[in-house]
Amino acid sequence: MTLVVHGKFECANADLGKFLQASALLPNMLQNGTNPLAKIQAFKLPWWQPTSLLDVSGVECDWEAGSDFASYTLTAGQSAQGGRTTVYFMVVYENKKQTGLRSNIKADPNW
């Protein structure tokens, strides 16, 4: 079984820092100038526009535990309107017992 979730939210920059610090698995800092979601088309969802952000930073994390694999990819930046920080994220969960060998779904830009 593979589950893919795409999401978007807006927040104050300080709240994004608190979100990262509260996560036991995500790093507390994003990599400046990195937009790991730029290649992800997200089935051409009209609201999915991580390439429109200015001053981007991002992170990509993978974890394996037993037969489970999870990936979390996040890009944050300023929208053209400015003000609040816009965050796009993609979570991929895959159970290898149900799907066989782990597929390389992150390499497919349509995921």
Domain holding 78, by residue range, is 2-101
- pLDDT digits 0-9 by tens, 22-68: 988 888 889 999 999 988 876 678 899 999 999 999 999 998 888 89
Cβ(92)–Cβ(71) under 8 Å? yes
Amino acid code (one letter) for 47: W
Domain count within the chain: 1
- Domain-located, residue 110: no
Decide: helix, strand or coil at residue 13.
helix
Mean pLDDT of 74-82: 86
- Give the burial class of 80: count Cβ atoms within 10 A of its Cβ; 0-12 exposed, 13-18 middle, 19 or more buried: exposed
- Domain-located, residue 89: yes
Is the overall model pTM greater than 0.95, yes or no? Answer: no
Close Cβ partners of 46 (under 8 Å, ≥ 6 residues apart)? none
- Domain-located, residue 33: yes
- pLDDT digits 0-9 by tens, 91-107: 999 987 765 544 555 54
